[in-house]
């Protein structure tokens, strides 16, 4: 069966193998030495299954795809407000290496342009540049699920020709946005950009973001959902250099590209994509990389703003096992809107029952908003002189012992029995 998906990927790669437009980046001399024909693509499902096509094992330097990951590390170590004090989140509309900051705040406009990325490096708490780089290297490696190594030649080449980045570093220092020595910070920045990855590494790193910070292959939590949410947000608005608008319209996935020819794209909750082809368009994005992501999005329906269908009903069934007792059976993932639907229906029907039983035994996942709404249902019913019970064998709604009142049951039959007793006590004459 996996062959079916493989065929899709191979066909999409085949469609674009003839797109030989674009040029190698040459402002970092070593980048102009790579084979222009290299072309690999990889996809990781959210549960860690990897599909590969073409040169998926070919290594190249991560370059700017490093930026969201260092930003995530800074958020992880310092929290959002400390990071926000030094780096904005607005698209710049300028080239990635523009020597600029926001006019009013003097902050780099976002962490996906060089100014913001260099500031992000300086925020990683460490005793010195080597320790800082080691933290960055470990962090990226935990996303990729293997140790990522430095490309010494690209690092040396970038360091030798990095006048523009030095200008940015010193500018940031003059505005009070860089506390450490700019050359030391830049040295770490050049090293992070020179880490070697494959398209499969990028797919795995993307899938880890797609899973809210859990690497699906190693099972390790390497970041938190909040950090990932912020990182993906900035990737949406600023990840594709100044082509972010085109990208969101045509592809619709948070993404980041690098002048090494790589692109990582993420479909939250579902998958990570990595593409490599070093021929770049005039914005600095891989020509084939953009085309492949566009085709994948169109052909596999991956645009994150696709409104595929009306949201599926959360209520699977509503029935009355005995007179006066009504069971609300829910299923799927319960988020705010689903829980709201359950509460609203039960409220509308409240004159038709004395005891409501909410059965969440088929719910896969629930978020805090839905949990709060549903756990308030019993109390609301009690306030109306009725009773509300919960069938929650796996504790999806009620988690802590503190929350655990006598209202939770393992099976609907147990809850119905209890409800029957309640009816006999509270409605001795007529249950209705």
Residue carrying structure tokens 């540049």: 129
d(CA 53, CA 168): 38
Measured from the CB atom, is 97 or 215 closer to ligand GLU? Answer: 97
133 contributes a contact to ligand GLU by CB under 6 A: no
Give every CB contact of residue 239 below 8 A, 6+ residues apart in sequence: 68, 112, 247, 254, 255, 256, 257
Residue with the CB atom nearest ligand GLU in the bound state: 64
Residue of 129, 169, 258, 272 that binds ligand GLU (CB under 6 A): 258
63 contributes a contact to ligand GLU by CB under 6 A: yes
d(CA 400, CA 25): 55
Write the DSSP symbol of residue 21.
-
Q: Which residues are tagged catalytic? A: 64, 67, 189, 241, 259
Measured from the CB atom, is 167 or 380 closer to ligand GLU? Answer: 167
d(CA 114, CA 98): 8
Residue of 30, 55, 59, 158 that binds ligand GLU (CB under 6 A): 158
Could you give the count of Cα atoms lying within 13 Å of 140 in the half-sphere of its Cβ?
30
Closest CB 165 distance from ligand GLU, rounded Å:
5
Other Cβ atoms within 10 Å of 257 Cβ, number: 30
Residues 174 to 203: which contact ligand GLU by CB under 6 A?
193
Residues 268 to 287: which contact ligand GLU by CB under 6 A?
284
Tell me the β-bridge partners of 44.
50, 272
108 contributes a contact to ligand GLU by CB under 6 A: no
122 contributes a contact to ligand GLU by CB under 6 A: no
Residue carrying structure tokens 């001795």: 428
d(CA 392, CA 403): 13
CB 87 within 8 A of CB 116: yes
Measured from the CB atom, is 51 or 189 closer to ligand GLU? Answer: 189
96 contributes a contact to ligand GLU by CB under 6 A: yes
Binding residues for substrate: 64, 114, 158, 165, 189, 241, 259
Residue of 137, 157, 165, 286 that binds ligand GLU (CB under 6 A): 165
Query: Which residue ranges make up the site for ligand GLU (CB under 6 A)?
Result: 63-64, 96-97, 114, 158, 165, 193, 258-259, 284
């Amino acid at each position: 069966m996996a062959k079916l998906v493989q065929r899709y990927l191979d066909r999409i790669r085949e469609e674009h193998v003839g797109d030989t437009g674009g040029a190698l980046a040459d402002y970092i001399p070593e980048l102009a030495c790579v084979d222009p024909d290299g072309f690999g693509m990889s996809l990781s499902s959210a549960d860690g299954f990897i599909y590969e096509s073409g040169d998926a094992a070919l290594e190249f330097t991560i370059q700017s795809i490093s930026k969201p990951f260092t930003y995530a590390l800074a958020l992880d170590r310092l929290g959002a407000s400390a990071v926000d004090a030094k780096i904005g989140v607005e698209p710049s509309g300028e080239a990635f290496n523009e020597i600029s900051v926001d006019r009013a705040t003097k902050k780099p406009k976002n962490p996906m342009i060089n100014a913001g990325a260099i500031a992000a490096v300086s925020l990683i708490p460490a005793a010195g540049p080597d320790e800082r780089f080691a933290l960055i290297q470990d962090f990226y490696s935990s996303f990729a699920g293997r140790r990522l190594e430095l490309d010494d030649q690209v690092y040396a080449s970038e360091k030798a020709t990095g006048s523009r980045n030095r200008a940015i570093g010193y500018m940031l220092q003059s505005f009070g946005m860089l506390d450490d020595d700019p050359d030391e910070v830049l040295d770490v920045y050049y090293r992070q950009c020179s880490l070697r990855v494959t398209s499969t590494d990028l797919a795995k790193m993307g899938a880890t973001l797609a899973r809210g910070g859990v690497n699906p292959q190693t099972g390790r939590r390497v970041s938190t959902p909040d950090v990932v949410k912020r990182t993906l947000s900035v990737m949406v608005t600023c990840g594709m250099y100044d082509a972010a608008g085109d990208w969101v319209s045509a592809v619709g996935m948070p993404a980041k590209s690098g002048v090494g020819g790589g692109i990582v794209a993420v479909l939250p909750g579902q998958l990570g994509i990595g593409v490599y082809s070093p021929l770049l368009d005039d914005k600095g994005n891989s020509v084939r990389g953009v085309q492949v992501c566009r085709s994948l999005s169109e052909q596999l329906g991956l645009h994150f703003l696709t409104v595929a269908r009306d949201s599926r009903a959360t209520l699977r069934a509503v029935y009355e096992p005995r007179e006066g007792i009504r069971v609300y059976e829910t299923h799927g993932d319960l988020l705010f809107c689903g829980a709201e639907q359950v509460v609203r229906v039960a409220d509308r029907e409240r004159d038709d029952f004395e005891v409501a039983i909410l059965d969440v035994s088929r719910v896969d996942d629930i978020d805090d908003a839905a949990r709060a709404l549903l756990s308030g249902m019993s109390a609301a019913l009690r306030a109306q002189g009725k009773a509300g019970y919960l069938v929650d064998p796996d504790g999806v709604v009620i988690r802590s012992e503190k929350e655990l009142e006598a209202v939770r049951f393992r099976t609907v039959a147990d809850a119905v029995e209890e409800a029957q007793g309640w009816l006999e006590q509270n409605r001795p004459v007529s249950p209705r």
